[in-house]
Amino acid sequence: MATAAVAQGYKPYQPYKPYSPPAPAQPKTSYDWQSGNRITATPNQDGSTSIRGSNMNTGAMWRSTIEANGDQRGVDSRGNMWRYNESTGSYMSSDGTTCIGKGALRTCN
């Protein structure tokens, strides 16, 4: 009986396989022919998503990052840096625009 118990628990030798991280997610691009906007969203390994946008008609370009928790930051087409906090609803831009709150209670200067 002891031999049968050992045989049941026996596992043949498995060679060591080094860790290999999963392949990064592929970027997704969409194009809106009416506005001319092209958006590319690239998932990052830390759970955030990088967004790059451009407009073929105007030459405008912008970029932003959406964190896993919903916070966002970026640079608009005029070069203004901005930041949005998902939990408070606050928005601040280097052009002086600030907003506080969410929904109907949101106020901006």
**pLDDT tens over the chain, length 109 residues:** 555 555 566 777 767 777 777 777 899 999 999 999 999 999 998 999 999 999 999 999 999 999 999 999 999 999 999 999 999 999 999 999 999 999 888 999 9
- Cα–Cα distance for residue pair 2/39, rounded to 1 Å: 65
What is the reported pTM? Answer: 0.73
Residues 6+ apart with CB under 8 A from 59: none
